[in-house]
Every structure is written in structure tokens, then in C-alpha cells.
Amino acid sequence: MQHLGDPVDGRPSRRERTVRRSEGGAGSNRGANLGTRATRTGRQAGGEGQATGDLPLPPPSSVAGGVIDGMLIGALVWAILVLTLLPALETSMAALFPTLLLCLCGGGVVGPGVQAALRSGRTRRLPGPAAAATGRAGPPGGRHRVVILGGGFGGVSAARRFEQLLPWTPWLDVTLVSQRNYLLFTPMLAEVAAGSVEPGNVGVPLRAACPRTRFRRAEVLGVDPGRKLVHLRRGDALEVLPYDQLVLAMGAAPNFRDLPGVAANALTLATLEDARRLRDHVLGRLEQADHEPDPAERRRWLTFVVAGGGFAGTEAVASLFDLVHSVLRYFPHVRAGEPRFVLVHSRERILPELGDRLASYAGGKLVARGIELRLGVTVAGAGAGGVELSDGERIAARTLVWAAGTRPSPAPLVTGPQGPAGVVPRSTGGVRGTAGAVPVDRALRVPGFDGIWAVGDCARVPDPAARGAACPPTAQHAVRQGRAAADNVVAVLSGAQPEPFRYRGLGFLVPLGRQSAAAELRGMRFSGLPAWLLWRGVYLWKLPGPQKRLRVLLDWTVELLFPRDIALTGAERRPAPQAVE
């Protein structure tokens, strides 16, 4: 098998030659300051194109990024003013379009200056890893290969942190492996399914997000910790990728709990393909119902059941409700009161992560809009024409959206007789893996395996503030875990001790449709229009890349001015569920 990253024809690559030149004469200066010396080495290497990737892309223009971010702020200010003052102005949204252009121009003018000031402050505050304080210039033995498995929030966060530390760690060679070549911004998947945002605008290419990281688009078959090799499949070719440090960020996959008929009949909302398929599925059901003469069959076409009353399920049912009612004008034979939406949840109230008051507000808001809540029951099975509940009720429906939980993607570790406790080997295509979350210590290391770390949904990270419980599988935790893992990898390679992971969640935001949401941030609670504006503003700012932010903002603006599109863009078929990285 070919070893990825090995020199071609036995000759050292330009990167290797650059690293060797930068390491020449370093033996007599081991006690030099790491920050100053590594920064100087990084500049010398950068002149020769040395970086983690073979051909690092130039960073985007700071002026262009500042203009776009400034325009986003201007548009957000315009949206807040319009949505709060529009009832008093007694004018149409289209008449206020010139004021939107004025806000965009004003924001674009001041944006570059504001961004330059913020970037300068971040540069002064950027901390090096714990290893930067040790005074060492890096580990002996030349470059060290770090492999990250998974292109989700945790994996990309780790890769970007490694890139930030390149001036201090020119001896690192980082490779990111993922089956997708883009980072999916999963908090906006419901917006894609509802037709509010174009699918391509919530996916950021990994090569652009991590320009100094080697990227391999491949399927991970397994990991051999003994020989420190990762087995990959790219198309029909089998390859192996050697590593010195490995970061597992494999994500999670939908968990159907072996319920009869659910895997075959339920739709999920975990990938970009899922969101596209769900939108087309709902529009296809409206097309069928518009010409269905049988009343009973018509009710089946127009009944939409969502399993799971957490954040994903609540967002899904609210988004589908908005989608259906916003396009009913195109279906003259479907009356506004005919579509039926049912949210099934196992507990006595939805959104258990929120406090009682906000959860009650969210439930009341959904009920007031006409969404039925089935609380204290679960989905027991599903067929082509109905959904069975645990209390014996059968709901006649041809649409079931599954948002009732996920399971960690199997980490493809080869476990031997002395593997860690709690890791159960199983066969996955000839390669043994582990079922369930990978247990890690407080520093994110996998016990029993040298040089292996795990972050995100595939890891069981202990939460010291929760008395032994694990950190919740949220995007904000995965991002911080990725950064912490990168810092700890550099610390270990530099001879320092890794730091335990600590993070207190910022809070939760959940949209409820029709310019309404519920939010809880560090003990502060918001609801209604302010929470909805906060939700859109926060997630718009968190979306990676100014270009994507501008595209999403334009999508939202178009949604205010024009009706949603009802074109069916693909066939209604559902392949086997894939892991969410």
C-alpha cells in the first residue's frame, strides 16, 4: 500500500528540505525562547512555502472580509430597526429597500477599520500552548505527523488551532481526513430544509477553512495503534496514512434504536443531503395532496410527524410548519387548516435543556400555531402509511422525521488484549472498531493508546462541573475540545504536561418559527422577537467565512421580499444514514 506523506521517489520534499534548513544549528540553542525563535523559523520557512499543507492558499483579503462583515452588521441593524418599527411605520417591506442599501453601504465603509482593530487585539491576546513556556524549540527527530479524522466542528477547530500555532511549531505536519470536503454548519440545517437558505451556503470547503492543512477526502477503514497507521479507502484504492499523534473527531450518526420500520421509513436531518431530501419530500407530499380525491389518503399526505422534542426536533417541526404554510398559495386545493404537524417527545415537556419557563413558552408557542404535542410517549414503529406510538395510538402519516437521538460514530480502533476498559471490539468491514463513545481522560487522551486523542460527539469527555457526567454533544463543546486537543498535542510533543479540558457552555438558542425563538445565555432568558434576532445574529456571526455570511444574509433578505421556491431539485430517495462529523 502507498504511505501518504512519504517522499516521492525517495527524494525529500521541499517542505522537508525547508524544515531541515530551519533546524540546522538548533542544538546549541535549546534554551532559547520558543516564541521568538519559532516565530523567526516560521518566517524563514514561510518564505519557501513551508506550512502544514503542500501548497497553502493565500489568506483572503482582509479589506474584502472587513467590507463583507461591515455590510452584515449594517444589514443586521436594518433588520432590527425594521422589524421593531415596521408596524408603526405602516409601510411595506419593499418600500424600505433603499434604507437597506444605505445600511449596507455604511457598514461596508466602517467594516475594515473595525475588523482591523479586532484582529490587532486578538493577535496581542493570542496565547501559545503550554509548551511555549517551556523554552524548548520543539521535539527532536524532525517533523511530527498529526492526523485528524473527521471534518466537523471538532476536527476543523483542531486543524485551525494547529495553523495558529505554526509560528511556534514549524515541525508539525497536520493532515485532515474526511469523507466530505466541506464543513457543514449544522445549526442551519433546518433553515435549508425550510427553503430559507440555499444548501451550498451552509457548507464551507475544508481546503479554504484550513488552507495550511493537508486534506484527504477518504473513508476511514480502521486505525492500527500498534504501528500507528490509519487505513483509508479513496475510491477503489486502499491506502495507509502514518501518524505520530491522532485526533479522533468522527462525529455521530442517527440512532433508530432498532425500532421496527423506523430506519426504512424515517427521514433524518443530519447532513446537507438530508436537508435537501426533506424539503423535496415535503413539497412532493403537497403536490400529491393537491390532486388526491380520497379524504383519508389526503390526510396521510398532509400529516407530518417529528420524533424528538429536543433542539433538533423542535427546530425541524417549526421549520416544516413555516415551509408548508408559506407555499400553500401555490396549491389551491389544499386548505390552510388541512396540514397536520405532530411533535412526539418522551418527556413531560419539550426542550428539557431549557428552564421550565422557557420550555413552557416554547411549547405554548408551538401549540398556538397549531402544532400538536404528544408528550410522555415515544415512537414504537413506523410503516409507509403510519406511525405507531408507545401508548398504542397510530397516526396516519406518510412523513416521519427522526430527531430522537444520535449515537457516536464507531471509532475504528483496533483493540488488543490490553485495550482500555469499556471499549468493545466489533467487526466493521474486516476492521475491528469500538461501539459507543470513546472514553477519554480530562486532557482528551484515549487511555491505553499512545498518541490518540478524541473530541466531539464521538468522545465521552468528563465534565468536572457535572460530577462525573459527560460534556453534552454540542457544537460549542466540540469547537473548544478541538482547540484544547491541539494545544495538548503540542504540549506533549514539546515535553510539557497537557491541560485538563474545562468549558462552561454559553447557553442555548432555539427558533420557533415566525420570527420567534427562545434563548438562555448564562442565566439570562429571552423569548419572542428579541430571541429570534439574537439567534440569527449569533449564528450568522458564527458561520465560517465572510462570503458565506453574506450569502446567508442575502437568502434571508430575499425570503422577506419574495415567496419561497417550490421547485423539486432531486429524487425522493433516502440512502443509508451517514455519520455526522
Taking CA atoms, 433 is separated from 254, 418, 429, 436, 563, in Å, by 18, 15, 10, 10, 48
Taking only the tens place, the pLDDT of each residue in 481-494 is 999 999 999 999 99
User: Is the pLDDT confidence value at 444 over 80?
Assistant: yes
**CATH top class, domain 262-404+508-540:** alpha beta
Distance CA 369, CA 142 (A): 63
Give the count of beta carbons closer than 10 Å to the beta carbon of residue 580.
25
Look-up of cell digits 487522551: 445
What was the pLDDT predicted at 439?
92
pLDDT band at 420 (very low <50, low <70, confident <90, very high): very low
CB 192 within 8 A of CB 279: yes
Which positions ≥6 away from 264 have C-beta within 8 Å? 382
What was the pLDDT predicted at 53?
39
pLDDT band at 95 (very low <50, low <70, confident <90, very high): low
Taking only the tens place, the pLDDT of each residue in 2-53 is 444 443 333 444 334 433 344 444 333 333 333 333 333 333 333 333 344 3
Distance CA 112, CA 64 (A): 8
pLDDT band at 373 (very low <50, low <70, confident <90, very high): very high
Distance CA 466, CA 502 (A): 11
Q: Which of 106-115, 189-198, 409-418, 502-511 has the lowest mean pLDDT?
A: 409-418
CB 225 within 8 A of CB 414: yes
Name beta bridge partners: 454: 248
- Note the pTM of the prediction, 2 decimals: 0.77
Please report, for the chain, the start and end positions of each structural domain, with discontinuous segments joined by +.
Answer: 62-123, 139-254+408-493, 262-404+508-540
If you average pLDDT over every residue of the chain, what do you get? 79
The one-letter amino acid code at 566 reads: I
Q: Which of 87-91, 106-110, 529-533 has the lowest mean pLDDT?
A: 87-91
pLDDT band at 82 (very low <50, low <70, confident <90, very high): low
Pairing of strands 229-234, 219-224: antiparallel
Q: Which of 119-123, 338-342, 346-350 has the lowest mean pLDDT?
A: 119-123
The CATH number of 139-254+408-493 is: 3.50.50.60
| 139-254+408-493 and 262-404+508-540 agree in CATH topology | yes
Distance CA 348, CA 315 (A): 18
What was the pLDDT predicted at 547?
84
Q: Which of 2-16, 25-39, 189-203, 250-264 has the lowest mean pLDDT?
A: 25-39
